[in-house]
């Protein structure tokens, strides 16, 4: 049997992070320049039931049963087998590679889970549909993030821009006119679970103030949605920048993010903000195509570890 493979893209949150955990809407878009890939190959000489996981980037070469219970890869395999109502599988080797930086708001955990669930279910002759893949990946997100909203697994599974409101059916965001984002990585790994937890504590301590911030973030998200869907994406810059300030008020920015956001604006971006959990990870800037190189240059000079430019469009290629 030839090897099978599945890939899943990275993602960024355009607007609505943190507020989305507390019942407000958010917009997320795939970032196809970075990908997680899972390749599976039958291993006829192996013992039935054994799945050897090879993930060179994290130095892993182990049979999945030997990993601790809460290891995301072991959990991904176990949940997939449960969903397929299978206990014993033909011996195989599962290779995982990813170009998505970890713990930086680019959805690496969700992308690895989606790629593994897809390739394993296909290998076992029972490919799962998007809804099933996304809900299994959501269970893995809980291991990574504690109390995730579900936005990462949704956008990574669908590989399309989405408008997401917890507990509601996921809506595809209409993007009649494409637009460009530059993503700047601070190079600082920041676990989302910590910032989500801190925002939760802030909300418990001062619900009126924090709810008011969430409502303003929601307003910016709605405004941006309308403008994107009516073909005017170039006008959303101010909503991005205002949301950055609101996220700072929530305590999830840091000097490095503020510095990169300012550098992008100074170089001609029409809006910029942190993206994802914050206190590190990535920021995004809305740029016209003639400003993209200037903004990338400015971000690198301001200390960005790396940059990605990506076009947001209706369908990923």
Nearer to ligand PMV (CB atom), residue 93 or residue 157: 157
Nearer to ligand PMV (CB atom), residue 8 or residue 40: 8
Kindly state the smallest distance separating residue 107's Cβ from ligand PMV, in Å: 6
Name the CA dihedral angle for 263, 181, 141, 280, rounded to a multiple of 10 degrees. -10
Report which residue's Cβ sits closest to ligand PMV: 276
Nearer to ligand PMV (CB atom), residue 90 or residue 187: 187
Kindly state the smallest distance separating residue 12's Cβ from ligand PMV, in Å: 7
Cβ atoms within 10 Å of 305's Cβ, excluding its own = 15
The beta strands (E) that lie in 127-244 are given as 162-164, 171-172, 179-185
Backbone angles phi, psi at 253, to 5 degrees: -90, -175
Distance separating the N- and C-terminal Cα atoms of the chain: 28
Alpha-carbon span 126 to 139, nearest angstrom: 20
Q: Can you give the binding site for ligand PMV, defined by CB under 6 A?
A: 13, 17-18, 20-21, 105, 107, 145, 148-149, 151-152, 192, 196, 276-277, 281
Token pair for residue 215?
Answer: 């409502």
Kindly state the smallest distance separating residue 311's Cβ from ligand PMV, in Å: 20
Look-up: residue for tokens 């990605």? 308
Nearer to ligand PMV (CB atom), residue 27 or residue 84: 27
- Tell me whether residue 178 is exposed, middle or buried, using C-beta atoms within 10 angstroms of its C-beta: 0 to 12, 13 to 18, 19 or more: exposed
Q: Per the residue annotation, which of 69, 152, 198, 211 is the catalytic one?
A: 152
Kindly state the smallest distance separating residue 26's Cβ from ligand PMV, in Å: 7
Kindly state the smallest distance separating residue 268's Cβ from ligand PMV, in Å: 26
Kindly state the smallest distance separating residue 276's Cβ from ligand PMV, in Å: 3
Beta bridge partners of 53: 62, 94
Nearer to ligand PMV (CB atom), residue 107 or residue 161: 107
Residues 6+ apart with CB under 8 A from 122: 4, 6
For residue 8, the SS3 value is strand
Between strands 26-42 and 92-98, the pairing is: antiparallel
Nearer to ligand PMV (CB atom), residue 121 or residue 195: 195
Whether 152 is catalytic is yes
User: Do 104 and 276 meet the contact criterion of CB atoms below 8 Å apart?
Assistant: yes
User: Do 244 and 272 meet the contact criterion of CB atoms below 8 Å apart?
Assistant: yes
In 37-125, alpha helices (H): 72-83, 108-123
Look-up: residue for tokens 């090897």? 3
Nearer to ligand PMV (CB atom), residue 93 or residue 108: 108
Kindly state the smallest distance separating residue 82's Cβ from ligand PMV, in Å: 23
Catalytic residues: 152
């Amino acid at each position: 049997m030839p090897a099978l493979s599945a890939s899943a893209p990275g993602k960024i949150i355009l607007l609505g992070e943190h507020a989305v955990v507390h019942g407000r809407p958010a917009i997320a878009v795939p970032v196809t320049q970075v990908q997680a890939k899972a390749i599976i190959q039958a291993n006829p000489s192996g013992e039935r039931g054994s799945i050897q996981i090879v993930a060179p980037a994290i130095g892993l070469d182990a049979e999945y049963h030997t990993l601790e219970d809460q290891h995301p890869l072991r959990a991904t395999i176990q949940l997939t087998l449960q969903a397929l109502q299978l206990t014993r599988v033909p011996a195989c080797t599962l290779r995982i590679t990813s170009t998505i930086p970890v713990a930086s708001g680019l959805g690496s955990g969700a992308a690895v889970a989606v790629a593994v669930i897809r390739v394993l279910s296909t290998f076992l002759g029972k490919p799962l549909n998007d809804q099933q893949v996304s809900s299994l990946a959501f269970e893995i997100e809980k291991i990574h993030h504690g109390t995730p909203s579900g936005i990462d697994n949704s956008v990574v599974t669908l590989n399309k821009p989405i408008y997401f409101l917890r507990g509601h059916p996921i809506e595809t965001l209409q993007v009649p006119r494409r637009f460009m984002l530059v993503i700047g990585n601070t190079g600082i790994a920041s676990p989302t679970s910590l910032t989500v937890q801190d925002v939760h504590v802030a909300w418990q301590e001062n619900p009126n103030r924090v709810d008011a911030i969430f409502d303003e973030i929601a307003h910016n998200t709605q405004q941006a949605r309308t403008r994107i869907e009516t073909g005017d994406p170039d006008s959303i810059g101010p909503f991005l920048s205002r949301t950055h300030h609101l996220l700072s008020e929530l305590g999830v920015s840091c000097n490095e993010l503020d510095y990169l956001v300012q550098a992008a604006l100074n170089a001609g971006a029409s809006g910029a903000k942190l993206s994802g959990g914050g206190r590190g990870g990535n920021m995004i800037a809305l740029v016209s195509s003639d400003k993209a190189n200037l903004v990338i240059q400015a971000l690198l000079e301001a200390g960005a570890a790396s940059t990605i430019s990506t076009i947001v469009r209706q369908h990923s290629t």
